[in-house]
Structure 1
């Protein structure tokens, strides 16, 4: 770990955190937290592309670890799911969980394939 790697992760993380805040604020609705869903799905795909392209380590630190790490959120996703269950919104809960898990895996794989094609 170097000072540069810390700076790269920190700068990417700052951008990712602001983007996540923006999308959560604008898109999260009572029916379904679309902001959290969107950032998690987009983050999965972008990380797949970055790995598939095999970007240099410095870019992976900034964009992968920093930006995508701060943009995506597992803890908020779990809290939102828990809130749906405690509010007895089981259909919404299973839809949200299914879209998040299956969509995240599928988009990460698709991103990886796209990255391989691009490289």
Structure 2
């Protein structure tokens, strides 16, 4: 239960930060705010995981849940996606990493398009 609380609190902070970036970055016909959030969130995930991987203190798992899963997961799920890709690549699983990228991007965009099509045209 404690783990869920850490993730939930962090997620709320991350979601509010994402919303804040969206409010600060002017809308100009291109999703700059989303692009910024994805790039910054992925960078922060890399820094956090590097720091946590070198830290063997008792609170490392709690910090990972609060900051990586919660805050950065709420800020952008793209950071988790990026970490998954890099983890697969570091294991030498290039085929899996490439497949994961393609399936995630094409599958996500395709499923959203399908849902819109169904909701607008069929239902």
Same fold by TM-score greater than 0.5: yes
Tell me which residue corresponds to 2:44.
46
2:75 alignment counterpart: 71
**Using CA pairs below 8 Å that are at least 6 residues apart, which structure has the higher relative contact order?**
1
Partner in structure 2 of residue 86 of structure 1: none
Question: Could you say which residue in structure 1 is the equivalent of 2:20?
Answer: 22
TM score, norm. by length of structure 1: 0.56
Q: Secondary structure at the match of 1:15?
A: helix
Shift of 1:42: 0.9
1:24–1:33: 8 Å Cα contact kept in structure 2? no
Q: 2:4 matched to which residue of 1?
A: 6
Show the counterpart of 2:110.
Answer: none
Give the corresponding residue for 1:36: 34
Task: Tell me how large the CA RMSD over aligned residues is.
Answer: 2.3
Structure 1 stretches lacking a partner, 5+ long: 75-103, 110-119
Q: Which runs of 4+ in 1 moved over 6 A?
A: none
TM (norm. structure 2) is: 0.54
